[in-house]
Chain A
Amino acid sequence: MDFSTLELSRFQFATTSIFHFFFVPFTVGFAVFIALLQTLAFVRKSDDLERLTRFFGHLFFINFVVGVVTGIVQEFQFGMNWQVFSNFVGNIFGVPLALEVLMAFFLESTFLGLWWFGKDRLPSWLNLSFIWLVAIGTAISAFWIIIANAWMQHPVGYEILNGQAVLTSFWAVMTNPKGWQWFSHIFAGGLTVAAFFVMAVSGYHLRRKHEIPLFKTGLHLALVLATLGSLGVVASGHIQGQSAVRDQPMKYAAFSALWDTPEGGSMPESLIALPSNAQNRNLFSLEVPYLGSFLAFDNLYQKAQGMNELQAEMVKMYGPGNYIPPVWPVYWAFRIMVGLGGIMLLTALWGLWLWRKGKLETAKGYLIFLLIMPLVPHLANFSGFVTTEIGRQPWVVQGLLLTKDAVSPLPVAYVIASLVAFWIIYLLLIGLDVFLLTRTARAGMHPPDTELASVPAPDYTLGSDPVKLKGS
Chain B
Amino acid sequence: MDYAALWFWIVTACFAIYFFLEGFDFGVDLLRPFLARNERERKALINTIGPFWDGNEVWVILAAGAIFATFPLWYGALLTGLYPLFTLILLALIGRGVAFEFRAQVDHRHWRVFWDVTSFIGSFIPAFAWGLIMAALVQGLPIGQAGVYQGTLTSYITPFTLFGGLTTTLLFMLHGATFLLLRLDTQSGLHARARSAALFWGAFATVAVLGFVYLGYVREELFRSFGLSNWVLPALAALTLAGIWLSLRLKRDGLSFAMSSLTIVFSVVTVFLGLFPKVLPSTLGAAYDLTIRNAASQPYTLYLMTIVGGIFLPLIIGYQAWNYYVFRHRIAVDEPKINQEIISHGTD
Contact = CB atoms under 8 A, between A and B. Distances in A.
Instruction: Indicate whether A and B interact.
Output: yes
Interface of A: 61-62, 65-66, 68-70, 72-73, 75-76, 78-84, 86-95, 97-103, 105-107, 109-114, 117-118, 121-122, 161, 164, 166-168, 170, 408-410, 414, 417-418, 421-422, 425, 429, 432, 436, 439-440, 449-450, 452-456, 458-461, 463, 465, 467
A118 B97 CA distance: 20
B219 interface: no
Q: Using C-beta atoms within 8 Å of the partner chain, give the interface range for chain B.
A: 35 or more
Given A106-B58, A106-B320, A408-B76, A459 B331 contact: yes
A467 to B, nearest CB: 6
Interface in B284-319: 297-298, 300-301, 304-305, 308-309, 312-313, 316, 319
A103 B48 CA distance: 26
26 contacts: A61-B101, A65-B98, A69-B98, A76-B79, A78-B68, A79-B78, A90-B69, A95-B304, A105-B58, A105-B61, A109-B57, A110-B54, A111-B319, A112-B54, A113-B51, A113-B55, A410-B80, A414-B83, A418-B84, A421-B91, A440-B105, A452-B339, A454-B104, A459-B44, A460-B332, A461-B329
A169 to B, nearest CB: 9
B157 interface: no
Interface string B37-74: 00000011001101110110110011011101111110
A117 B83 contact: no
Contacts of A82: 76
A72 B323 contact: no
A422 B75 CA distance: 21
B308 to A, nearest CB: 6
Contact of A465 (B70, B106, B329): B329
Contact of A167 (B43, B298, B332, B338): B298
B109 to A, nearest CB: 15
Contact of B52 (A84, A86, A113): A113
B83 A110 contact: no
B185 interface: yes
B79 A80 contact: yes
A132 to B, nearest CB: 14
B214 interface: no
A161 B300 CA distance: 13
Given A432-B98, A459-B332, A409 B338 contact: no
B339 A453 contact: yes
Contacts of A449: 338
A72 B93 contact: yes
- 8 closest A-B pairs by CB: A90-B72, A94-B69, A79-B79, A83-B76, A458-B47, A94-B68, A86-B76, A113-B51
Nearest to B93: A72
A460 B80 contact: no
B158 interface: no
Nearest to A173: B304
Nearest to B186: A463
Given A70-B94, A78-B68, A460-B332, 19 more contacts: A65-B54, A75-B61, A81-B80, A83-B80, A86-B72, A88-B72, A90-B71, A102-B65, A109-B54, A111-B319, A117-B50, A170-B300, A408-B83, A429-B94, A449-B338, A453-B104, A453-B107, A459-B44, A463-B330
Contacts, number: 252
B332 A79 contact: no
B77 interface: yes
A118 B327 contact: yes
A22 B10 CA distance: 34
A66 B102 CA distance: 10
Contacts of B239: none
A425 B323 contact: no
A436 B105 contact: yes
Q: What is the predominant secondary structure among interface residues of chain B facing chain A?
A: helix
A75 B58 CA distance: 11
A110 B320 contact: yes
A55 to B, nearest CB: 14
B245 interface: no
Interface stretch (B141-149, B195-203, B205-213, B272-280): B141-149
A14 B16 CA distance: 33
B205 to A, nearest CB: 27
A103 to B, nearest CB: 6
A10 B65 CA distance: 21
A208 B233 CA distance: 66
Contacts of A460: 329-332
Nearest to A61: B101
B83 A80 contact: yes
B211 to A, nearest CB: 30
A455 B104 contact: yes
Contacts of A83: 76-77, 79-80, 147-148
A109 B91 CA distance: 20
Contacts of A118: 51, 326-327
A79 to B, nearest CB: 3
B316 A102 contact: yes
Contacts of A91: 69, 72, 297-298, 301
Given A87-B73, A106-B320, A459-B337, A421 B64 contact: no
A169 B102 CA distance: 44
Contacts of B100: 65
Contact of A113 (B44, B71, B79, B323): B323
B9 interface: no
A216 B239 CA distance: 64
A435 B190 CA distance: 34
A167 B78 contact: no
A436 B102 contact: yes
Contact of B308 (A78, A102, A436, A453): A102
A86 B298 CA distance: 14
Contacts of A114: 51, 323, 326
A409 B185 CA distance: 53
Contacts of B331: 458-461
A9 to B, nearest CB: 11
B90 interface: yes
